[in-house]
């Protein structure tokens, strides 16, 4: 008998196009100019980590690296800063994906907090090493806003894979 | 179920183990980091990726711009009228100054001509708009809507209506990145208006700037205005930059700590001017061009002068033979320019005789004497 965890709902397979589109939308959201407001969630990291957890065989470190370079260029940051952070994020979420999928979305969000924190720390360390200024502790706000968005993103990005609920008492699963 | 667009999951095609992949990608990222910081050949990659990201950035920035414009639209008639009033009075003020300035500039050129000085630096300006603030929290940068296609070059000064706000650091075809004065890595050569003291101004990363490496007893007072010195050959000299707000001298340190507040709206400007020098930069004089007779030790050798004099004379003879002037003036020209060649240790009087003595054939003589006169 199957355990009754939330992921047991049978989903349709994901379409690669949808993954691509969601990543592009995340990029555009990430590029919205917000000035010096640090609590903006890192949408790219969020969507990337989500797909790394859900589809570790399709989205992984290669995607993370490419997205990282794109974000680096768009932000005018040092080349490789986001790439390094996203690659590490993709690796850890891929490794954790088997475990994470047994939890409810809320618990998954809690599990993601250390991962997002790690990616932010990596960027901070890289920039401080090359002589950037410390942006203040509010820099880490973004970790928590990103993790808080895990649940809505979990719901929205899985909509295309949902099957209409048709109850059939004779069906085994 | 439609299988159209769905791929079967790659059960058997796993590729490299994740740790190996991680190592490869981390190595790549670190290579990018080092390549970007130490070598500059990554700028082509950056330019290439910008072609991809710029449309996305504009797509993202447009709704934000739209929202801001809508807010402005409902700002109300009274605010607009007040602003209109203020702008009109500003324009009158500016017009008064402008009228005087054109006359002063004329006078300045004439006086400079009389004094035989080099022309003042001509300024070329490109009006631009700040599109948005770059989202890198570690630095202070903004993006302009004009780029390499409109003539923006890296290194140019960026100023708003009152003062310098930053410097163009990266140029892309359609936009440019400006590092603000308050960035920690931004340094510009300045001069203190009252005392004429030269200094270098650094950003502190927190909105203020700092004059570093000035002796503790340097002549700096609170309230001093700081202008660009233009000594770097990139900035236009004389642009207002900042005002000294604190000058503290600690007996324990050899340098004073001088904090300044930028005059321009560094963190809040909408329309800006990209200012550069019109015309080519004067080449940096190399050691030999400075004085051919000067040895590495700084001494002037006599032997070299003797060698250079006949060479100059032959050059004069060649230029004179091509000129179609009367015989008497040619003789004058030869005597004058041979005087210039033999008096090359004293270039100034020699040049004057050349100009005064040969009004007709001054062209060949001048062609010899100008390299010495511009020393």
Q: Is the pLDDT of residue B373 over 60?
A: no
Residue B23 lies in a domain: no
Q: What pLDDT sits at residue B5? A: 58
List of chain A residues whose C-beta atoms are within 8 Å of the C-beta of residue B63: 32
Q: What pLDDT sits at residue B285? A: 64
Q: Would you call B5 an interface residue with chain A, using a CB distance cutoff of 8 Å?
A: yes
**Inter-chain contact A62–B25, Cβ cutoff 8 Å?**
yes
Q: What pLDDT sits at residue B43? A: 80
- Give the integer Cα–Cα distance in Å for B71 and A31: 21
CA atoms lying within 13 Å on the CB side of residue B122:
9
Distance from CA of B201 to the nearest CA of A (A): 17
Among left, alpha and beta (phi > 0; psi -120 to 50; other), residue B261 is: beta
Same domain, B302 and B271: no
Same domain, B145 and B229: yes
Residue B1 lies in a domain: no
Same domain, B260 and B313: no
Q: Which domain holds residue B132?
A: 125-275
pLDDT higher at B328 or B52: B52
Tens digits of per-residue pLDDT, A113-159?
A: 999 999 999 999 998 888 777 888 888 999 999 999 999 999 899 88
Q: Would you call A57 an interface residue with chain B, using a CB distance cutoff of 8 Å?
A: yes
Number of compact structural domains in chain B: 3
How many CB contacts within 8 angstroms connect chain A with chain B?
Answer: 141
**Inter-chain contact B177–A57, Cβ cutoff 8 Å?**
no
Cβ count within 10 A of residue B117: 9
**Inter-chain contact A68–B29, Cβ cutoff 8 Å?**
yes
Which one of B2, B12, B29, B55 makes the best mutation probe of the A interface by having the most chain A beta carbons within 10 Å?
B29
Same domain, B133 and B202: yes
Tens digits of per-residue pLDDT, B289-326?
A: 555 555 555 555 454 444 444 444 444 444 444 443 43
pLDDT higher at A114 or B352: A114
The domain spanning residue B219 has which CATH number?
A: 2.40.10.340
Q: Would you call B16 an interface residue with chain A, using a CB distance cutoff of 8 Å?
A: no
Same domain, B271 and B316: no
Which of B93, B116, B139 marks a domain boundary? B116
- pLDDT band per the 50, 70, 90 thresholds, residue B79: confident
**CB-based contacts of A144, cutoff 8 Å, min separation 6:** A113
**Inter-chain contact A77–B63, Cβ cutoff 8 Å?**
no
Question: Looking at this predicted complex, what is its ipTM?
Answer: 0.86
Lowest mean pLDDT among A77-86, B208-217, B294-303, B358-367: B358-367
Residue B59 lies in a domain: yes
Q: What pLDDT sits at residue B356? A: 39
DSSP string, B303-353: HHHHHHHHHHHHHHHHHHHHS---HHHHHHHHHHHHHHHHTTTSHHHHHHH
Residues 18-47 of A with CB under 8 A from B: 24, 27-36, 38, 40
Q: Would you call B26 an interface residue with chain A, using a CB distance cutoff of 8 Å?
A: yes
Q: What pLDDT sits at residue B280? A: 61
Same domain, B132 and B152: yes
């Amino acid at each position: 008998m199957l355990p009754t965890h939330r992921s047991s709902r049978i989903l349709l397979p994901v379409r690669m196009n949808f993954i691509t589109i969601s990543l592009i939308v995340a990029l555009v959201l990430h590029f919205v100019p917000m000035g010096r407001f640090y609590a903006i969630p890192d949408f790219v990291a969020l969507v990337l980590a989500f797909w790394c957890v859900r589809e570790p065989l399709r989205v992984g470190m290669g995607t993370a690296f490419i997205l990282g370079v794109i974000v680096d260029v768009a932000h005018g940051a040092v080349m490789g800063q986001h790439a390094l952070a996203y690659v590490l994020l993709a690796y850890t979420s891929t490794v954790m994906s088997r475990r994470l999928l047994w939890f409810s979305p809320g618990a998954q969000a809690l599990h993601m907090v250390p991962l997002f924190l790690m990616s932010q720390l990596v960027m901070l360390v890289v920039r401080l090493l090359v002589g950037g200024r410390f942006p203040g502790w509010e820099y880490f706000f973004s970790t928590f806003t990103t993790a808080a968005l895990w649940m809505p993103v979990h719901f929205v990005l899985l909509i295309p894979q949902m099957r209409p609920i048709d109850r059939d008492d004779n069906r085994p699963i | 179920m439609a299988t159209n667009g769905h791929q079967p999951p790659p059960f058997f095609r796993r590729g490299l183990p994740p740790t190996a992949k991680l190592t490869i990608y981390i190595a790549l990222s670190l290579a990018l980091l080092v390549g970007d910081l130490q070598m500059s050949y990554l700028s082509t990659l950056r330019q290439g990726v910008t072609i991809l990201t710029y449309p996305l950035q504009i797509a993202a920035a447009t709704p934000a711009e739209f929202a801001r414009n809508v807010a402005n639209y409902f700002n109300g008639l009274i605010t607009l009228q007040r602003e209109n009033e203020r702008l009109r009075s500003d324009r009158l003020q500016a017009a008064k100054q402008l009228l005087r300035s054109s006359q002063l500039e004329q006078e300045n050129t004439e006086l400079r001509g009389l004094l035989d000085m080099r022309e003042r630096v001509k300024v070329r300006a490109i009006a631009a708009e700040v599109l948005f603030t770059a989202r890198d929290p570690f630095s202070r940068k903004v993006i302009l809507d004009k780029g390499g296609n409109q003539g923006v070059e890296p290194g140019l000064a960026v100023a708003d209506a009152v003062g310098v706000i930053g410097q163009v650091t990266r140029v892309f075809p359609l936009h440019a990145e400006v590092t603000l004065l308050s960035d920690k890595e931004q340094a510009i050569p300045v001069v203190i208006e009252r005392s004429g003291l030269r200094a270098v101004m650094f950003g502190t990363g927190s909105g203020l700037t700092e004059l570093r490496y000035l002796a503790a007893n340097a002549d700096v007072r609170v309230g001093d205005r700081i202008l660009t010195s233009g000594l770097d050959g990139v900035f236009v000299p004389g642009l207002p930059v900042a005002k000294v707000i604190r000058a503290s001298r600690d007996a324990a340190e050899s340098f004073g700590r001088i904090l300044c507040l930028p005059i321009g709206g560094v963190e809040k400007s909408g329309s800006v001017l990209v200012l550069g020098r019109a015309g080519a930069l004067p080449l940096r004089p190399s050691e030999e061009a400075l004085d051919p007779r000067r040895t590495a030790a700084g001494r002037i050798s006599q032997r070299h002068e003797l060698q250079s004099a006949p060479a100059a004379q032959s050059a004069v003879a060649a230029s004179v033979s091509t000129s179609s002037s009367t015989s008497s003036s040619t003789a004058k020209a030869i005597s004058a320019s041979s005087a210039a060649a033999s008096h090359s240790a004293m270039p100034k009087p020699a040049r004057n005789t050349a100009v005064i003595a040969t009004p007709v054939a001054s062209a060949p003589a001048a062609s010899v004497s100008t390299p010495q006169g511009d020393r």
